[in-house]
Chains A and B, each alone.
Chain A
């Protein structure tokens, strides 16, 4: 049942997406405007052919999720952070930030798919440019913090 639905959905989408170059069916026809997927920011090709990805990305992601969670495999082809790395495109409101909103969410909104991934996984990436190192996630802030603490300790920290 679910499979049949998925197939339908996928066929529909494939048609919809391939029809995207044709003039879009406007809202004046009383129809929901077609999704306008952002072009991938990195890479020439997806991890699988686009037709396969359209239909099966959710299964790939779920398998990858469990492989990472339970088996600690970190270099998987279908990593969610990997999707974000390639598919996040610049946010017009904050050019230092890239987001997958205009790719994943654009399509999901159209197809009425709701995922909760972004309540934990960050759909936004801060571009690595020298100017915004302070906004970068990861160890950069830990490094400065440790530096400050070291200085502090060298001076003889007052034991509170």
Chain B
């Protein structure tokens, strides 16, 4: 059972063919009415408008422009945006973004990247959720509806990216824009509270301050967006592409 609330591709069968078909219609739309399409796609949602599947939000992480310190900037920006403080029990502290240090054992080449919720098109966390709390919002952002999360943590086991954390303890003084509470699962929200009012995620903002171009946030479905242009020029990496989750977070240089 899938909890995808947009495309409703329940089977997973014939996915590649559907993609080809979708791509074909998208191109047709662009060429048939270019002016209209561009305007429609480039317009940001007003705060009072519902999200639509005309957008798919994504982040392109250019690891060639990132070092350990830049990754830590992302982590710290996330922690302070969402009030992820240390509880004194390190094993239980939430991690919405974590720094991953990787090394090619044959050449010794090493670098770092930020790992977080990959905002999958086909999120395994949502598939296993017994209450429907884990869901993929129609514009591609994968969230936990904490109001109906029962804290079973199936999603944490299902996530191939180890991107989710559990709130083991009461949370002191949560941020008003990012409520979190004991007994529920939490993860990167792609900063929905900012995106919904036309902003960009805190990590992207912070990283671009210290290392311009290291993270690009934008609408993958808008052919005029910086991210869409970039991913059409360079070959990007989808982490564990073999699983067919189709992440919205894409990497360069890994």
* Chain A residues within CB distance 8 Å of chain B: 65, 67, 69-76, 81, 84, 116, 119-122, 124-125, 137-139, 141-142, 145-146, 149-150, 152-153, 157, 159-160
CA A70 to CA B3, docked complex, whole Å: 12
A-B contact pairs, 9 of them (CB 8 A): A69-B145, A69-B147, A72-B51, A72-B137, A81-B177, A119-B170, A121-B176, A146-B77, A146-B209
Count of CB-CB pairs between chains A and B under 8 Å: 95
CA A74 to CA B195, docked complex, whole Å: 10
CB distance from A140 to the nearest CB of B (A): 9
- Judge whether B175 and A137 touch: CB under 8 Å: yes
CA A119 to CA B179, docked complex, whole Å: 8
CB distance from A113 to the nearest CB of B (A): 17
- Judge whether B210 and A146 touch: CB under 8 Å: yes
| Residues in B neighbouring A73, C-beta threshold 8 A | 47-50, 196
| Residues in B neighbouring A74, C-beta threshold 8 A | 47-48, 193, 196-197
> Is the contact region of chain B dominated by helix, strand, or loop, or is it mixed?
loop
A72 is contacted by which of B50, B73, B176 (Cβ under 8 Å)? B50
A65 is contacted by which of B147, B174, B176, B197 (Cβ under 8 Å)? B147
State which residues 178-197 of B face A: CB under 8 Å: 179-182, 184, 192-193, 195-197
CA A70 to CA B192, docked complex, whole Å: 11
- Judge whether A120 and B196 touch: CB under 8 Å: no
CB distance from B150 to the nearest CB of A (A): 13
B128: CB under 8 A from chain A? no
B80: CB under 8 A from chain A? yes
- Judge whether A149 and B76 touch: CB under 8 Å: yes
B173: CB under 8 A from chain A? yes
